[in-house]
Amino acid sequence: MSFAAHVLTLFPAMFPGPLGQSLAGKALAENLWSLSVHDIRAHGLGKHRTVDDTPAGGGPGMVMRVDVACAAIDAACAIAPAGSPVLVTSPRGKRFDQVMARELAAGPGAIFFCGRFEGVDERLFQLRPVVEVSLGDFVLSGGEPAALAMLDAIVRLLPGVMGAAESGDEESFESGLLEYPHYTRPQTFEGLSIPEVLTSGNHAAIGAFRRAEALALTRARRPDLLKGAEKDPKKGEN
C-alpha cells in the first residue's frame, strides 16, 4: 500500500503545487504515494460556508470554529488509512525533524490540517487525537507551506522515490551531523581547486576527510547537534 496523504485546507488550489514536480511529482504519477485535498469550507456553516468567528474574550483576528474543524477531520479520518495521524500545523507545535519524517514515511499515511487565522479553537485538541506540528520558530500566513514542506520531506523517503536509496543516508540530519561539502568538475575554478584527497581514490582518507568536514560545519553552525555525534564516532562516517 502506498503512503496516502490527506490535506485539509481552505485553499485547495495550493496543492499539489511543488509536490507535482521533481521526485515527488514523478512518484505521485507512479502511484508511489497518493494525495487527496479536502476543502475545509465544505464543512462551513450557512450559505457563505463560514469557518471562523471572533475570538472569545476579544482580540484581533478570527479563530477557526471547533465544530467546522472537527467535521473536516472526522470526514478525512473516515476515508484515510487506519492509523493515519492527524497533524495540525501550528507554530506552537512539536518541531518537525528528520526523525519524524522517517516515522511518518514508515506509516500508512497522514492527515494534514492546515491552520489559518489566529488559530483553531482550543477545544479541538481536547476532543480529537491531533498533534500540533511546527516547522520552526517563525510564523507563516497559513499551514499550507508547512504541509508542503513536510510532505516533501516524507515522500522522498518512501521506497522507490529516490533513484539510489543510499543517496539519502549521508544527508544533513541523517547521521546526526550537517552534511559535508560537495565538489564536482571543473577541477579548478577561479583559483579554487577540489581538495586533493577527494580525487586520490583512497576511500578511507575520503571518509575521514568528509567526517572531519561534517563535524567542523556542525560545530560552527549547529553545535546543538554535536552531543550525540561526538559520543558515537560511527555517526557521520561515510
Does the pLDDT of residue 233 top 60, yes or no? no
Q: Is the dihedral of CA 100, 103, 106, 108 positive or negative?
A: negative
> C-alpha cell of 170?
549521508
CA angle 163, 165, 170 (to 5 degrees): 115
- Residues 25-72 pLDDT 10s: 999 999 999 999 999 999 999 999 999 999 999 999 999 999 999 999
Q: Is the dihedral of CA 146, 228, 235, 207 positive or negative?
A: positive
Residue spans of the domains in the chain: they are 3-155, 169-231
- Rounded CA separation 226/167 (Å): 22
Predicted TM-score (pTM) of the model is 0.87
- Rounded CA separation 9/38 (Å): 6
Does the pLDDT of residue 238 top 80, yes or no? no
Work out the percent of the chain whose per-residue pLDDT is above 90: 87
Largest CA distance in the chain: 71
- Rounded CA separation 238/222 (Å): 20
- So what's the pLDDT on residue 236? 43
> Which overall architecture, per CATH, does domain 3-155 show?
3-Layer(aba) Sandwich (3.40)
- So what's the pLDDT on residue 227? 75
- Residues 84-96 pLDDT 10s: 999 999 999 999 9
Does the pLDDT of residue 216 top 90, yes or no? yes
* 162-191: average pLDDT: 78
- Residues 129-170 pLDDT 10s: 999 999 999 999 999 999 999 999 999 999 999 975 545 555
The overall average pLDDT reported for the chain is 92
169-231 — its CATH code?
A: 1.10.1270.20
